[in-house]
Structure 1
Amino acid sequence: MLIQRDLIVRFRQTFFGLAWLLFKPLMLMLVLFFAFGFLAGFDRNSAAPYPLTIFCGVLPWYLFTNAVPDAMNSLLSQMHIMQKTYFPRAIIPLAVVIVDGIEFFVAWLLFVLGCIWYGYLPGWQVVLFPVLCLQLFLLVASIGLWLSVLNVRFRDVGNLVPFLMTIAFFVTPVGYTLNQIPSEWQLLCSMNPLVGIIEGLRWSLLDGASGFPLVSWALSTIITLLASVLAVRQFLAVERFLVDLA
């Protein structure tokens, strides 16, 4: 019911409706293509069409920047429901992540249209696409769950996270690839768990053009699993006190 309600509210009384799901990532891709492809010239050494390379970074980033803040604010926005009846509180942030996940999968239509436009066909590596998407969802849900509790206890979190998102955009290979970072900085950059997921998606959808990012993906997997365990433990520890903390 929460998922259905959120989907209706997001697109009710909008003129373009579901077209907004495609418009926003498309505009971000065009801006990044102009900045990194046209101005910086990163597209010259790209084995795959550069707009498709950017899409593989834009769409995971689009989910991350939508779902994490939405999940972070979800408990506070639904506190009036939590004060009236008991139910597993984790349902609220997870429902928000699922709604953003639906938008995420719809937005991949842009990538499909791009493949048709360039006559590009992914190789056998595409079989790992669902695994990488599942890892992305686990990471987003874990961070969202953790921040939702922190935001109830410390309202400063709601002001800090958007600022950190702005910084994270420039250190995450959304408009460029990991190989375009100097080699001595690649390991440090790979500590960002989004890096391994984005580079893995590029490998799976762009016919393995740049080789499988084993190190960055392994680091991303370890950090994602640790984040999920810590987030669940923290949430279970304070779940029954959430209403009192607010």
Structure 2
Amino acid sequence: MSENSAFKIDHDLLLKPNDAAQWARDAMAARRWELAARRWATLRAAYPDYPPVWIQGAIAHRHRGRHLEAETLLEEARRRFADHPGGWVQGARTALAAGDLKKAEELLEVARARFPDKAPVWLCSSDLAWAQGNVDIALEHNQYARSRFPDDPGGHSQYAEMAMKSGDWETARERWTEVRALFPDWPAGYRRAAEAEENLGRSREARRLRLAEAHGAEWLEELESEEAKPISPPQRRDWRNFVDLVWTKARLNLKSEANRNHLRYMWWILDPLLYMAVFYVVFGLLLQRGGEGFVAYLLTGLVPFQWFSKTLNQTATSIVAGKGLMHKVRISPLFFPLVGIVQNSGKQLLVFAMLGIFLVLYGLPPTIHWLALLPIVLVQILLMVVVCCLVAMVIPFIRDLSNLVPTGIQFVMFASGIFYTVDRIPTQWQTLFFSNPVANLLYQYRQVLVENQWPEWRMLSWLTLGLLVGLGVVLWMYRRLEPVFPRVVIE
């Protein structure tokens, strides 16, 4: 099916123009300009009265070097949408890119008269004056943009760019610092500042800024708020620095995740409460199946399994997702899955607390056997380290395996005895059943929490020994493949 026909289906479903435009914006975000131009052409046929289909289409053509096609679209945009500044501003930028400074000036004179309250008009005027060699006029237009539109990062960013163009790296560094203070989420404030630092010979500071760009402003704020030595990927193999780096990144991820929600950290409590409430209502009240105590039996299996499944889902493609950072700083690929494991483990503490409260209310109060939860949890963490790091290591080489991860998790769920008791399995198959490490762990959890007994230490010991051997193999493979990953992840 062609892209046009695929889009027609969406149009028939009455997509809003802005939602449909995301189809073309995705291509622009990937810098696939030819594809973007084709998609905008399709959207123009569907939504001819929507200004971006003309203006953004022209931008795509300009990036392809097709200035004539771009100007044709912009002339039509100016005719159709006389009250939209984009036709004039992008027309001037297209003329500027084509070297026609006179036409760019004519368009901007009209734009300044008609749209004096639009920041892009003054920013483009400043760029044109700079291209003409009129530095004072360029600074005047930029100063107006910064004072008239203080909440727009464009003016402040352009001011720093002027210092970059002049080669005044120290001034550029100071101006980018101001940009970051005003607009901590503006990516250029970190990326371009890192380039200024490199030109000043401050490679260490440049590395910190690139880390902040990749992982958020909170990373840099954390480093600057502490008097300790800034955390950076170690140039030598120091496991203490590496552990500290993983811990810091996981902690900042948790803070960032909480800040994205209105209820912040409350979601970490509500999520497990709602999860357990659903199964209690369905199995305990509505179906009333499984007999007495089945809800407790079910939840003591589901909660640890959810920890395993969520962690594996998050870390499976973590190395591929971290390719940008991997090409900026020297860092072990092991860093990426470990961050996901630590991050999910932090949230799991609250989930286990909610499970404990539920069991008490359900009539299963704590006993001395609950002390055995600590070694069981540690073994589960070891299991997740081995499995998640192994899967994350393989996927960059065989990308299609990422599509099988959810299916594999579902298979493990049904093969681990979450919804049925061990006595339902024939005796001759129980050895094979417990060879599944997840089934082994869930059995140990239930021995402690539901049966009020000590875990089967012999089974747990054999599992731990096997996982330690697996961990050694995984670490050895990461050490051998570390130089290969930066090349593989971009293929």
- Shared fold, TM over 0.5: yes
The partner residue of 1:42 within 280, 290, 293 is 290
For residues 193 and 148 of structure 1, do their structure 2 counterparts lie closer, same or farther at Cα, with a shift above 3 Å needed? same
Quick one: which amino acid aligns to residue 231 of structure 1?
V
Q: Distance in 1 between matches of 2:305 and 2:394?
A: 22
Query: Matches of residues 1-246 of structure 1 in structure 2 within 5 Å?
Result: 1-29=248-276, 32=279, 34=282, 39=287, 41-44=289-292, 49-208=293-452, 212-213=455-456, 216-246=459-489
Residue pair 1:194, 1:220 contacting (<8 A) in 2 also: no
Tell me the CA shift for residue 232 of structure 1: 1.4
Q: Which runs of 5+ in 2 are unaligned?
A: 1-247
Q: Distance in 2 between matches of 1:35 and 1:115?
A: 15
Residue pair 1:71, 1:148 contacting (<8 A) in 2 also: yes
Q: Distance in 1 between matches of 2:273 and 2:434?
A: 26
Q: Which moved more, 1:218-227 or 1:117-126?
A: 218-227
Residue pair 1:187, 1:216 contacting (<8 A) in 2 also: no
Q: Distance in 2 between matches of 1:107 and 1:56?
A: 11
Q: Distance in 2 between matches of 1:27 and 1:175?
A: 19
Tell me the CA shift for residue 42 of structure 1: 2.3
Q: Distance in 1 between matches of 2:422 and 2:487?
A: 45
Quick one: which amino acid aligns to residue 250 of structure 2?
I
Q: Distance in 1 between matches of 2:349 and 2:309?
A: 15
Q: Distance in 2 between matches of 1:51 and 1:98?
A: 29
Residue pair 2:389, 2:474 contacting (<8 A) in 1 also: yes
Residue pair 2:296, 2:362 contacting (<8 A) in 1 also: no
Larger radius of gyration: 2
SS state at 2:265 partner: helix
- How many residue pairs are counted as aligned between the two chains? 241
Residue pair 2:445, 2:455 contacting (<8 A) in 1 also: no
Residue pair 1:123, 1:206 contacting (<8 A) in 2 also: no
Q: Which runs of 5+ in 1 are unaligned?
A: none
Identity level (%): 17
Residue pair 1:203, 1:212 contacting (<8 A) in 2 also: yes
Q: Distance in 2 between matches of 1:58 and 1:93?
A: 23
Tell me the CA shift for residue 31 of structure 1: 5.3
Residue pair 1:75, 1:148 contacting (<8 A) in 2 also: yes
Q: Distance in 2 between matches of 1:197 and 1:114?
A: 20
Q: Distance in 2 between matches of 1:221 and 1:178?
A: 21
Residue pair 2:307, 2:348 contacting (<8 A) in 1 also: yes
SS state at 1:117 partner: helix
SS state at 1:199 partner: helix
Output the TM-score relative to the length of structure 1.
0.85
RMSD: 2.5
